[in-house]
Amino acid sequence: MRDLRTGFILNYKNFNDSNTNSKSETLNSKQTQITKIRNPKQNNSSLVRCFEHLSALGRLEFSQAIARLVVLLFVLSTFLWAKQKLPSPCYLLEVSSIGFPVAEKEKDAWKINELMIFNEKLYLGHGCAVVNTGPTDVIYYDLKKKKFITEFTIDDEAIYLYHIIDNKLMIPGIDATEDWDFGNFYLLTDTGWIKHRTIPNGIHVNYLASFNEKLFASTGTFGKIGKDVEHYFGGIFCSADTGKTWTLSYATPSDDQSVYRVNALLVYKEKLYAFPFAYSGLKKEEIPEKYHVGLSEKPYSEGYYLIFNEDIFGQSDVLVYDGKRWRCEDIILKDKLCYISKPFVFKDKLVMPVLSGEYIDYLSLKHKLPDQAEKVLFSFDGKHTKKTKFKYDKIIDVLVKKDFLYLLIEQDNIHYITKTQNLKKWEYFLIPPAIENPKSIEFNDNTFYIGTEKGNIFESIGSKPIKKLEESKDIVPKKIFGAAELPKDSKWYWVAISEWQHPDSLAKITAQVKFGNVIKITTENIAKISVFPPFCYLDLNRDIILIIDNTVVYEGKIDKTNELICTRIEKNGEVMWEIEKK
């Protein structure tokens, strides 16, 4: 991210009676001490010592009380979390990783932002255009051969989206690694990928769409007035020759306090819909005090918070193009509208997740929804707009497959994949809480694929009905991949890297539960690991077999309290693993 005006990327995962008694006893003890202190026969030094002792006792009690409170809050929050009411019907997914193809890249590039199946290949988009992790590899998973292939490298900081347009796969260049003279898009042809660096001043190319046999691109862009004056706006560009040349079809307003962007482009009922938004950089004193509680912990840059502008076109919400001219239209009866994220077409309806409210800090939305903010899912049939009853905190990804709609959502800190045919009746598939921050989904041959922030891509291998959240707390992936250079990144689901053979170099691990109570692990550059056996897949009445790097290193029974500490030892040129049960 470069600066406030040009670099913002909006991407589309009781104390009990005994405690009371002990407290009373301590108070009685303190009263006794105070009585002694008041004895006039005591000398000054004794008095000072008594006061020091009393003060220390008070501090100790305070520290103990704080510690107890922290434990109490943790236990209470865990209890309340586990007792949350789940939607119905709800199914718990069992998952296994198909790989961690971006393990050798920097950590910020691990995020699997997008999954899309094209020609029996599962394409993944990864990287971060905020931190700038490009150039970015185009990677796919061959669903038949069960392996990852790096097909191409694009000159952009990340891949956030793939588009299938006129049966061709395309990538909008979200943030070019080159200068701002042109923005990029990429087209997969029969002979491979072709880069088109042709979109004028396209700082961020957000979406691509085909309409009336022309290609359109929505952007965040800039223009110049004279030599020194620049203004930043959302531009919609049009190409009649498949992206070789472009003309500016529409430009949003621009002012010296705000940055405007155009997000999604969608074709609906023979019209092209575009969804603009804007934000301003405001300092805390410029924001009403009642909204301070909803701000990020830290401002974005130089004391400025990134605040959405509401109702940027007055009562109008969207831009609509009929092939001749653009119009602003009011299709959502909602005031203080800030942002329409990930709109889509389903069952002949335009469906729009809408964020509204005053002084909403974009960065705070990653952690919480401010009290003044509201998220609602609207559907539009071309004439009338209805508010659906679907509840969510975040819609993270959208997938339309024939007659079914799948949404990856977060609700009450729980992640689900939801499924519907009519936007009224929903099925819920609970993603095990052990999988933190899922970012993207795909569905093929009765299998869900789930991309995560930490780089693993999971496939569903089963599901079962679930009524209580606590039933999911011990469920972990059956197979996982991990990588780490530093101890802070060493824990991967049910294994942890604790020592490296060669410090400051990348360590890798693969762990899976196989048939017959077998745990199989392979390592690279690892000297010591901890294994926390995934009991949800093991029979504790039988021996557990642990295999590390194709050698059986442990065979015996374990219980649910056991951690297996595995240490690599070299003797006389032979490698052994020493196992300690803890």
d(CA 408, CA 113): 12
Domain that includes residue 464, residue range:
86-98+395-469
In terms of domains, do 458 and 526 share one?
A: no
| Whether the Cβ atoms of residue 203 and residue 184 lie closer than 8 Å to each other | no
In terms of domains, do 90 and 78 share one?
A: no
Domain membership flag for residue 228: no
- Dihedrals φ, ψ of 17, to 5°? -65, -35
What letter does residue 119 receive in the DSSP assignment?
A: T
Structure tokens at 184: 């990029």
Domain CATH for 405: 2.40.10
d(CA 415, CA 409): 6
In terms of domains, do 502 and 460 share one?
A: no
pLDDT confidence of residue 31: 37
CA distances from 3 to 6, 300, 364 (A): 6, 10, 19
Which of residues 434, 449, 469 is at a domain's end?
Answer: 469
Which of residues 469, 501, 527 is at a domain's end?
Answer: 469
pLDDT confidence of residue 226: 84
- Angle at CA of residue 23, ends 18 and 25, nearest 5°: 95
Which of residues 435, 469, 503 is at a domain's end?
Answer: 469
In terms of domains, do 30 and 56 share one?
A: yes
d(CA 579, CA 539): 20
pTM of the model: 0.86
d(CA 88, CA 107): 37
Q: Which amino acid is at 546?
A: L
pLDDT 10s per residue in the chain (582 long)?
Answer: 444 444 444 443 333 333 333 333 333 333 333 333 334 334 444 444 544 554 554 555 655 555 555 555 544 555 555 567 899 999 999 999 999 999 999 999 999 999 999 999 999 999 999 999 999 999 999 999 999 999 999 999 999 999 999 999 999 999 999 998 999 999 999 999 999 999 999 999 999 999 999 999 999 998 888 888 888 899 999 999 999 999 999 999 988 889 999 999 999 999 999 999 999 999 999 999 999 999 998 898 899 999 999 999 988 999 999 999 999 999 998 899 999 999 999 999 999 999 999 999 988 888 888 999 999 999 999 999 999 999 999 999 999 998 999 999 999 999 999 999 999 999 999 999 999 999 999 999 999 999 999 999 999 999 999 999 999 999 999 999 999 999 999 999 999 999 999 998 999 999 999 999 999 999 999 999 999 999 999 999 999 999 999 999 999 998 887 899 999 999 888 999 999 988
pLDDT confidence of residue 504: 87
Give 578's contacts (C-beta < 8 A, 6+ positions apart).
566, 567, 569
Give 458's contacts (C-beta < 8 A, 6+ positions apart).
95, 96, 97, 98, 435, 449, 450, 452, 477
- How many domains would you assign to the chain? 3
In terms of domains, do 574 and 483 share one?
A: yes
Domain membership flag for residue 328: no
DSSP 121-157: EEEEEEB-TTTT--SEEEEEEETTTTEEEEEEEESBS
